[in-house]
Amino acid sequence: MAEERPAKWGLVVDLDRCTGCNACIAACSMENNVPFVGEDEVAYGRALYWIRTQRYWEGEYPAVTPTFQPVMCQQCGNAPCEPVCPVYASVHSEEEQINLAVYNRCVGTRYCANNCPYFARVFNWFDYELPEPMRSYLNPDVTVRRRGVMEKCTFCVQRIVRGRQKARAEGRELRDGEIQPACVQACPAEALVFGDLSDPESRVSQLARSQRRYHLLEELGTLPRVTYLKGVGNHGG
Amino acid sequence: MAVESKPLETVLPAAHVEEDPREHLMFDPRPREEMNRMIMEAMTTTSRRYWAWVIGLALVVLICLFGAWGNMILTGMGLAGIRRPVFWGLFIVTFVFWIGISHAGTFVSAILRVFKAEFRRPFTRASELMTTFGLAAGALFPLIHLGRVWVFYWMIPYPNARWLWPNFRSPLVWDFLAITTYLLSSTIYLYLPLVPDLAMARDRTTGWRHTLYRLLALGWRGTEAEWHRLRRAITIFAFAIIPVMFSVHTIVSWDFAVGVVAGWHSTIFGPYFIIGAILSGVAAVVSILFVLRSTMQHMDYFIRKEHFDALGKLLLVFSMAWAYFFFNDYLLTWYGGEEAARRILTLHATGPAAWVWYLMLICNVLIPWLTLWNRTIRRTPWAMFIITLLINVGMYAERYTIIPLTLGHQRMPFDWGVYTPRPTEISIVIGTFALFLLLYLLASRLIPLVPVWEVQEGQMAHTLRRVGKAEVPSVTELE
Amino acid sequence: MSEKITRRDFLKLTAMGAAATAVMTGCGPMSRYVVRRPYTQMPEYNQTGESTYYASTCRECPAGCGILVRTREGRALTIEGNPNHPVNRGRLCARGLTAQQGLYNPDRVRGPRFQGRGKPTSPPRDLTWEEAVQVVGSALQKPPERIAFLLGLVPDHLFDLVSELTQALGAPPPLRYGALAALDGRTTLLEATRRLFDTPALPYFDLAQAEVTLAFGADFLQAWLSPVTYTRAYGNMRQGNPRRRGELIVFEPRQSLTAGNADRWVPIAPGSEAHVALALGGRVAELRGLPVPEAFRAVSLEEAARVSGIPAAQLEDLAVTFATAERPLALVGGSALTQPNGLVTAQAVLALNALVNNLGQPGGVFLTPAEATPAPLTAVSDLVRRMQAGEIEVLFIHGVNPLFELPAALGFAAALENVPLVISFAPFPDETALQSDYIFPDHSALESFGYQRSLAGADRPAWSASQPVVVPLYNTRATVDVLLAAAQAIGRALPYRDEVDFIQQKILPLLNAGGFYTAPEILTFWSRWLQYGGWWTPAAGLPAPRSPRLPASFGTLTPPPAPAEGQFYLLTYTNHLGDGSGANRPWLQELPDAMTTVTWNTWVEIHPTTAEHLGLKDDDVVRITTPYGAVEASVYRYPAIRPDTIAIPFGQGHTALGRWAEGRGCNPAQILPAATNPAGDPAFIGTTATLMPTGRRRPLARVESKDGVYGEH
Amino acid sequence: MQVKKPWWQSGGVRIALALVLLILFGGAVSGIYLSQIPPEQPIAFPHKTHVALGAQCTYCHPAAAWGPNAGLPGISKCWGCHQQVQKKSPELEKLAGYVQRNEPIPWVPVAIQPDFVKFNHQPHVQAGIACETCHGPVSQMTVALPQPRQNMGWCLDCHQRMRPNDFVRLSDCATCHY
């Protein structure tokens, strides 16, 4: 049996490739049983996107151009959400080096969400029931959250765990690119790359060393595991 | 017992010289039995209006607080107006408000006791009750604001089948522990000086009141040894509870200050919150004293203009101190130079909800500074009532500025959001105010609201001595 | 005494508390016991708790992306891209990713029924499939020239079968129409390629390897032809080309997602694309030292600058950039085609590629096989005319929602009244289905067999296969089977046993056609076909267009009329809701529009200075009036649109189609003209509209913070 | 001392109070009791007999070896043997009935975890954990019985005892909760 090697999962977002099409949101929501909340609740800022594309405008007409930046949980190495949770529902995984959202432990203080500088966390304001037979598409690998629970991007930890179990059952190491979160898998522009940052040869590590790299709100010292690659030139960010 | 006589000028400010010292409670003694009777009368007299209030408030508590809360538990936190990114709203604002109010009792009875401020004597009990009931109302909010209140006990450290403990790094756990400690110690501190008065009441009542007071008076007989022990206990508690009081509001401020939220992440928050708490607490004491004085029998004997005057001076000082810390908050942010925090503070004054910020400054600074320097205003109870109510409105606005208005405009402008309170949370907040008033109303008819023995003790210590041609007030050091 | 009682009461209270706690926290698993029914015959490939994947084809738009549907215990869970598929290479867009919300939509039509056109005199009632087949059979027995089939853009196998059926009956061939194809300008592209290259075909632009791309109108990142293909190509153009980072220049009156991602967005006046393309072509020919073809002499650079509102210097700069680029590519589609000058634009831009010699080159233009192409709007209006004239006795409708998608000005609704028998095969109660006599619901896409063979995004010959991934949820039946059964019942049987047999016979020629797998006989081939999700050649390769015959003129040019005072050019465009069939997917509704972040509703985009001029604020409801009608929508002050243009997204404004679609926003088809361009595609561009504030406000559910992004409170 | 009895010492109130308490307490006790008894099964399947006859657990629950769920046998598996076995018993009659109607047997699994616990049999079987370790002495049971106190501490305790060096990974929240 191959020895378990702890991983340091990381994501690279190439903003020069990203078109802002939002397929990542759809992929994520369907994989992770993220409920839709309806027009009024979205208008009030209660949509439950685990990943959303921040769209700012640059320049003035006619040289105006949008900049797209998909933002999801940055899986900080030094995460502000973790120390403030009174019950360890927001907790660091030593094994995967990501921030876990343990739904069944959450009591719903929402402090983690206040303290997340990336606004990556969303809250189940209500129980969002799906009419029959829509519940049939719910992914059984992901817990359906009830009201009063925080949730956020998990890097599709269910896929990580499944992938590791599969590799272990077959007695081999994980291959680079074998595990892909739903957003990475769907991204039509191939702007998202996922992998193990502790392996210097992995594709994600190579991209994360790019000269175009930066991290969101780097000055806060949160050590995000998501690396952004700047758009090139003064456009197309 | 050292007896010292002081020159008149040091005891009373120059302005008081012409005043007859006999206007002061301490120099206007009445026979013990009469005073006891007055207190008993105040405690046992109820009017139709009183019961109407009790029933009304009880209904409000039942419907607005427990009804709305129950509905929110069953439906979801979405009934409150909180949203991404403003995850804390009125609940936490009101929580901090009540914790602030609860500082008054301890401040008045412990700090003023330690500093031997004699004017405190008639209203220590009234303010200690505020502490306990303020905490009772405030401590509900950490529960109310939980998304899943039915598993609140996971925050309590106890060995369990899950092998899990609370996260002691979390300020919410500190908060939980601090508030529990404070509630416990302030309740004991309320109870200790109550014992002789309960015994007094026990000896003057029959029926269920007698039974109740007999149980609560713990067999107090008033022997020298009992008095000695009581004094010791009160002194120990007075000193012990002061750090607890400071720690509680510091820890409440840490709920915010240890966060990475721009505008919260400030070292000044501990003292800033304590000063704010004392300001709002003392103001609330004045408001309550006015109500007691104008609604309960014989209270105009115990609570006099001199008390409003003294508390008014305190308020002025604390308002200035608060303004100083408010200014410091800006100073630190400017010096820290963080763009996000700077933007937050600018937005407070210019954003869509800037009126809250101006309301805070007007109520906390402008109004006290313009009025409280004036002796006549300080000695006009109804004016003081209005001013202190306004100060508490200002302090509420301060907490509102610090919590939802700060959370709404953090580092990622794309996700900014404006928070609007919704009926459910407003109703719950009103419900806790009703709860506080209800508890106070009930307590006012259950326990002596004025610590008779403390007043009597003070009156014994204060005497007018004839020095030459003048009558000079003098105080005997009791302990 | 009393003390004792107090103590005892206290103990009682404690016990009660403990008991209550025990009850409320739930000590045991009693409430959790559920009955499980194991398979009677456990399928070998199916394991409880393990996922099974089925390869199929996405039918949310006609691009035909390959999908892998993850199922477990007979339920379709998530949809992933098929990594081998030549169109999407494992990638997928939001529409495909949410297709299971169509399958499990609670508002589906659950069985054949008599619909009665929603008239109170003939209330709907359920039918059996035997009755349904009988109804279809007797309908097919009507005089053949009085039978009409109106089909959607998917699936191709149904179109093939109906073609054979109508041929056998002697009826006119089926019409294919879809708002997506119309807004793409597909017919115009087909006509342009026919004129220039002699082959009507949809062009395939090798964007990934192009180094300077001029795009006229085509929003290929979101809606045009095959968005996933082109988005992948876009990514590779930016960062996947080892030679250099590709540059993208887009001419559009309103910044679409594509223009938003461009290096340069040129806000061209609507309707002047042909002028610019011609002028650029002339200049490029000069710069490359070629004789300027006659057709390109029609417009000078100055005139183009005047008509389009682009400074001549900028046009010159663009011409130089394009002419001197290593691998230039010019791309055309969408709003550049759906206008009176559309056919000229299409020819001019395709010829521009010929000028820079990129036909069949890497980073150039190729032609995809164009079979089963959509009908032009002119053909549909012809059908409407015949319906109106009472020349149609039976109308079969499948895969299209003409009452929603067609411009209301065409008069389809009124014409439908004159058709005695309308049979819809819609799986959803859409507008048209509710106005039909019968609804005989087809399976939803994830329950059906089928194929797509015209894949505009494939870089090689390819067929994409569909197969059911779940057992049909309701009493639905494949339309192919219904038609085959009906034909048999009336004694006009086609030589196919059922749908699968039909598909197998149609794919027989692929057995040894050089695909990446071969098989000796159909059953082996069939299993591979289902396993891989289709058939395609192992190597990329599309025919290159032959060098074009450039006519002396591409056609007459009409300069766009400048809008009168108070009038604005009206644009409509498709976002992730597509042709509106996606509006009943709640997650597509919840998905923020890429450019505006608005969800769940329709908005009208107005330039901020125009809005200020008109005194309009965000979220003000305005009435948009054209000669053809009026709709109402909330204002979105959009900084990236020409001040003389307003734009409304297509896809909302349903009056039917289930709980999530109904009564939401407005349908711009209500106010679009029925005019066509010379190729027969609609000529929407150039329509002008007036704006009238209604005095009401309806806040849009936007995800962005107006305060944070625009600095407004 | 002549003190009037307070209302809460009056007999009626006390009896009423006692009744309320009794109901609450009784309800709690019976609730706890009900939660601990095994559910009714469609067929009183005798595990004991089958194990005694040498049937391996993974014969009927084969997926335990390679998948997350051990799986419940379908009627085809039961009938594979019982077609041959002539012995008549009422329970076998029931089985024959299901087979005849081609109906799945509506078993009620007893070894279940809540939705938020993602348990996978495969790694446990691979690590050589015997079925009885968690499922109890099935070889002595007729119908399977729920094992009490299969809570988180029980999982962690075993993880710590069996794999002390791997406990960081095996106590990671994401091992079971996501």
In a domain, D101, yes or no: no
- Backbone φ and ψ for C196, nearest 5 degrees, come out as -85, -45
Average pLDDT over residues A38-66: 92
| Most B-contacting residue of A58, A119, A126, A228 (CB-CB within 10 A), to test interface | A119
| pLDDT tops 60 at residue B215 | yes
Q: Which of B215, B352, B414 sits opposite C713 (nearest CB)?
A: B352
Q: How many domains does chain D have?
A: 1
Is the minimum CB–CB distance between A42 and chain B shorter than 8 Å?
A: no
**pLDDT value, residue B295:** 87
| pLDDT tops 50 at residue B3 | no
The answer to whether the CB atoms of B163 and D152 lie below 8 A apart is yes
**Domain check: are C215 and C87 in the same one?**
no
Q: How many domains does chain C have?
A: 4
| Cα-based angle C235, C237, C239 (whole degrees, multiple of 5) | 65
Question: Which residues of chain A are within 8 Å of residue B170 when distances are taken between CB atoms?
Answer: 83-86, 111
Is the minimum CB–CB distance between D166 and chain A shorter than 8 Å?
A: yes
Give the closest residue to D70 by CA, choosing from A132, C106, C48: C48
| pLDDT tops 60 at residue C3 | no
**pLDDT value, residue B219:** 86
The number of residues making up chain D comes to: 178
**pLDDT value, residue B477:** 66
Q: What is the DSSP letter of C80?
A: E
| Most A-contacting residue of B162, B164, B167 (CB-CB within 10 A), to test interface | B167
The answer to whether the CB atoms of C19 and D106 lie below 8 A apart is no
Kindly state the helix (H) or strand (E) to which residue A90 belongs, with its residue range.
Answer: strand A90-92
Residue B478 pLDDT level (bands cut at 50, 70, 90) = low
Q: What is the CATH number for C148?
A: 3.40.50.740
Contact C502, C157 (CB under 8 A): yes
In a domain, A202, yes or no: yes
D130 to chain B nearest CA, in Å? 23
In a domain, A234, yes or no: no
For residue B77, what are its two tokens? 């936190």
Q: Which of D123, D166, D178 sits opposite A157 (nearest CB)?
A: D178
The answer to whether the CB atoms of A169 and D115 lie below 8 A apart is no
As to burial, measured by CB atoms within 10 angstroms (0-12 exposed, 13-18 middle, 19+ buried), residue C567 is middle
| pLDDT tops 90 at residue C108 | yes
Residue D91 pLDDT level (bands cut at 50, 70, 90) = confident
Nearest residue of B to residue C24, measured between CA atoms: B150
Residue C151 pLDDT level (bands cut at 50, 70, 90) = very high
**Domain check: are C364 and C378 in the same one?**
no
| pTM (whole model) above 0.80 | yes
What whole-number distance in Å separates Cα of residue D130 and Cα of residue C536? 49
Average pLDDT over residues B20-26: 74
Digit-coded pLDDT (tens) for B65-117: 999 999 999 999 999 999 989 999 999 999 999 999 988 778 888 888 888 88
| Most C-contacting residue of D30, D72, D147 (CB-CB within 10 A), to test interface | D72
Residue C14 pLDDT level (bands cut at 50, 70, 90) = very low
Give the closest residue to C220 by CA, choosing from C57, C330, C325, C96: C330
Average pLDDT over residues A211-232: 91
Percent of chain B with pLDDT over 90: 41
For residue D178, what are its two tokens? 């996501």
| Cα-based angle C458, C464, C468 (whole degrees, multiple of 5) | 150
Give the closest residue to C679 by CA, choosing from C178, C181, C272, C192: C192
Contact B414, A55 (CB under 8 A): yes
Contact C294, C304 (CB under 8 A): no
Q: Which amino acid is at A225?
A: R
In a domain, D28, yes or no: yes
In a domain, A78, yes or no: yes
In a domain, A27, yes or no: yes
Q: Over chain D, what is the mean pLDDT?
A: 85
Q: What is the CATH number for A193?
A: 3.30.70.20
| pLDDT tops 50 at residue C18 | no
Q: Which residues pair with C633 in a beta bridge?
A: C622
**Domain check: are C221 and C122 in the same one?**
no
- Backbone φ and ψ for A12, nearest 5 degrees, come out as -115, 130
Is the minimum CB–CB distance between A56 and chain B shorter than 8 Å?
A: yes
Q: Which domains does chain B have, with CATH numbers?
A: 3-151+166-476 (1.20.1630.10)
Question: Which residues of chain A are within 8 Å of residue C700 when distances are taken between CB atoms?
Answer: 43
Residue B346 pLDDT level (bands cut at 50, 70, 90) = confident
Q: Which of D3, D4, D152 sits opposite B162 (nearest CB)?
A: D152
What whole-number distance in Å separates Cα of residue C172 and Cα of residue C157? 18
In a domain, C452, yes or no: no
Strands C75-81 and C66-72 turn out to be antiparallel
The answer to whether the CB atoms of B415 and C705 lie below 8 A apart is yes
Is the minimum CB–CB distance between B337 and chain D shorter than 8 Å?
A: no
Question: Which residues of chain C are within 8 Å of residue D103 when distances are taken between CB atoms?
Answer: 40
B neighbour chains, 3+ CB pairs within 8 Å:
A, C, D
| pLDDT tops 90 at residue C87 | yes
| pLDDT tops 60 at residue B390 | yes
In a domain, C148, yes or no: yes
Residue B479 pLDDT level (bands cut at 50, 70, 90) = low
In a domain, C231, yes or no: yes
D37 to chain A nearest CA, in Å? 25
Is the minimum CB–CB distance between D115 and chain A shorter than 8 Å?
A: yes
- Backbone φ and ψ for C167, nearest 5 degrees, come out as -65, -45
Q: Which of D9, D36, D114 sits opposite C32 (nearest CB)?
A: D114
Residues 6+ apart with CB under 8 A from C196: C347, C350, C351, C354, C545, C548, C549, C550
What whole-number distance in Å separates Cα of residue B245 and Cα of residue C646? 63
CA distances from B288 to B99, B282, B305 (A): 16, 10, 14
| pLDDT tops 50 at residue C640 | yes
**pLDDT value, residue D5:** 67
The answer to whether the CB atoms of B164 and D4 lie below 8 A apart is no
Q: How many domains does chain A have?
A: 1
In a domain, C155, yes or no: yes
**Domain check: are C486 and C594 in the same one?**
no
Average pLDDT over residues C469-482: 92
Three-state secondary structure call for residue B286: helix
Nearest residue of B to residue D160, measured between CA atoms: B163
What whole-number distance in Å separates Cα of residue B30 and Cα of residue B36? 10
**Domain check: are C685 and C605 in the same one?**
yes
Kindly state the helix (H) or strand (E) to which residue C584 belongs, with its residue range.
Answer: none
Q: Which of A1, A144, A154 sits opposite D115 (nearest CB)?
A: A144
Residue D4 pLDDT level (bands cut at 50, 70, 90) = low
Residue that finishes a domain, picked among C368, C398, C420 = C368
Average pLDDT over residues C241-252: 89
What whole-number distance in Å separates Cα of residue B125 and Cα of residue B450? 6
Kindly state the helix (H) or strand (E) to which residue D156 belongs, with its residue range.
Answer: helix D152-162
Q: Residue C63 sits in which domain range?
A: 52-103
Percent of chain A with pLDDT over 90: 73
A neighbour chains, 3+ CB pairs within 8 Å:
B, C, D
Q: Which amino acid is at B399?
A: R
Q: Which amino acid is at B74?
A: L
Average pLDDT over residues C536-549: 88
**Domain check: are C117 and C77 in the same one?**
no
In a domain, A14, yes or no: yes
Give the closest residue to B241 by CA, choosing from B100, B131, B322, B101: B131
Q: Which residues pair with C366 in a beta bridge?
A: C204
Q: Residue A219 sits in which domain range?
A: 9-229
**Domain check: are C88 and C133 in the same one?**
no
**Domain check: are C189 and C303 in the same one?**
yes
- Backbone φ and ψ for C686, nearest 5 degrees, come out as 110, -15
Q: What is the DSSP letter of A72?
A: -
Of the listed ranges B114-123, B439-448, C255-264, the one predicted with least confidence: B114-123
Digit-coded pLDDT (tens) for C369-394: 877 788 999 999 999 999 999 999 99
For residue B191, what are its two tokens? 């109870």
Q: In Å, how far from its chain's centre is CA C679?
A: 20
Digit-coded pLDDT (tens) for C110-144: 999 999 887 888 888 999 999 999 999 999 999 99
What whole-number distance in Å separates Cα of residue C277 and Cα of residue C557? 12
ipTM over 0.90: no
Residue B422 pLDDT level (bands cut at 50, 70, 90) = very high
Contact C685, C338 (CB under 8 A): yes
| Most D-contacting residue of C1, C3, C40 (CB-CB within 10 A), to test interface | C40
**Domain check: are C217 and C74 in the same one?**
no
Digit-coded pLDDT (tens) for C318-337: 999 999 998 999 999 989 99
Percent of chain C with pLDDT over 70: 94
- Residue with the bigger pLDDT between B405 and D31: it is B405
The answer to whether the CB atoms of B150 and C713 lie below 8 A apart is no
Q: Where are the alpha helices (DSSP H) in C203-265?
A: 227-235, 257-260
| pLDDT tops 80 at residue B16 | no
Is the minimum CB–CB distance between A119 and chain B shorter than 8 Å?
A: yes
- Residue with the bigger pLDDT between B474 and C524: it is C524
C neighbour chains, 3+ CB pairs within 8 Å:
A, B, D
State the residue for tokens 């930046």. A69
Average pLDDT over residues B361-374: 92
Q: Report CA dihedral (C455, C457, C460, C461) to the nearest 10 degrees.
A: 0
**pLDDT value, residue C15:** 39
| Most D-contacting residue of A9, A32, A124, A157 (CB-CB within 10 A), to test interface | A157
Annotate B430-473 with DSSP letters as a single string.
HHHHHHHHHHHHHHHTTS-SS-HHHHHHHHHHEEEEEETTEEEE
| Cα-based angle C707, C708, C713 (whole degrees, multiple of 5) | 10
The answer to whether the CB atoms of A105 and D177 lie below 8 A apart is yes
What D73-78 contacts at long range (C-beta under 8 Å, 24+ apart), as own/partner pairs, is: D73/C38, D73/C42, D74/C38, D74/C39, D74/C40, D74/C41, D74/C42, D74/D104, D75/C40, D75/D99, D75/D102, D75/D103, D75/D104, D75/D105, D76/C40, D76/C41, D76/C42, D77/C42, D78/D105
**pLDDT value, residue A233:** 58
Q: What is the DSSP letter of A84?
A: H
In a domain, C296, yes or no: yes
Nearest residue of A to residue B91, measured between CA atoms: A109
Q: At what angle do helices B124-144 and B171-191 cross, to 10 degrees?
A: 150
In a domain, D91, yes or no: no
Contact B80, B90 (CB under 8 A): yes
**pLDDT value, residue C44:** 64
Is the minimum CB–CB distance between D25 and chain A shorter than 8 Å?
A: no
Percent of chain C with pLDDT over 90: 68
Average pLDDT over residues D48-70: 87
Q: Residue D25 sits in which domain range?
A: 9-34
CB contacts < 8 A (C, D): 102
